Structure 1
């Protein structure tokens, strides 16, 4: 029997976090010229963390969500010390897939946006499959 995710996670679930861009948020940049800017990888990390925290606590025991795919368009630069607002919204549930849309903005407007998809899985089966892959 397949888990009906809609019984645990409400469509339209939304989370917002405001954060000042710190040096840790620039670590993903590979160029010294970019070390003062919000990195794309920091944006993805925050979105993943927000979605995981919003969903996993609502799932029944033995189930977790795992990252499946992330699409991001990073259009504008934001510097260290700037306050940014991360917003995620659960737009669709398709089988075991949770499709979030996100926007990250600063005082001037949209910085980046995209989609983050998580899959709800049984932790024991995930672990079993991973161990099986290791022995092949």
Structure 2
């Protein structure tokens, strides 16, 4: 496993009706919903780590601080970029930015923790 600061990942999508605040229940307007924007940011962090984690190791989201600055309409393409800024033991902190054709629409930090997948799943309560 080779995880180093400076690693980057990107993820893009074209905003569809099911990505909107109205559809996600996070608002009542038909623009990119913040929950979908955050999922796109997390996807970018996963892309950054995709080829670097050992078998049986995963990363889990633990802290998200994102400012959603501008609305993006249905049909627009958005791209999230994640850059690994800090490694503190098992904790990885990424700076994330999201842009559309008009420029920056969101920025923030996402912290993920490296975990042993099997041990982590063993901690789940059964329903």
TM-score by length of structure 1 reads 0.81
Please give the residue correspondences for 1:72-91 in structure 2 after superposition, counting only pairs within 5 Å. Answer: 72-91=66-85
User: Is the 1:56–1:64 contact (alpha carbons within 8 Å) kept by the matching residues of 2?
Assistant: no
Aligned equivalent of 2:18: 24
4+ runs deviating over 4 angstroms: none
Q: What runs of 5+ residues in structure 2 fail to find an aligned partner?
A: none
Q: Which has the higher helix share?
A: 1
Q: Name whichever of 88-97 and 54-63 sits farther off.
A: 54-63
Deviation readout 1:70-124 (Å, 9 max, x if unpaired): 1110111111111222111111111101101111112222111111110001112
User: Is the 2:68–2:105 contact (alpha carbons within 8 Å) kept by the matching residues of 1?
Assistant: yes
Structure-2 separation of matches of 1:31 and 1:69: 22
User: Is the 1:83–1:107 contact (alpha carbons within 8 Å) kept by the matching residues of 2?
Assistant: yes
User: Is the 1:56–1:65 contact (alpha carbons within 8 Å) kept by the matching residues of 2?
Assistant: no
User: Is the 2:69–2:106 contact (alpha carbons within 8 Å) kept by the matching residues of 1?
Assistant: yes
TM-score by length of structure 2 reads 0.86
Q: What runs of 5+ residues in structure 1 fail to find an aligned partner?
A: 1-6
Aligned equivalent of 1:11: 5
Matched, 1:114 2:108: yes
Aligned residues: 125
Deviation at 1:125, TM superposition (A): 1.7
Cα-Cα RMSD: 2.0
Change in CA separation of 1:9 and 1:22 when aligned onto 2, cut-off 3 Å: same
Out of 32, 35, 38, the position equivalent to 1:41 is 35
Deviation readout 1:8-53 (Å, 9 max, x if unpaired): 1121111223432111221324444x1x201110011111122123
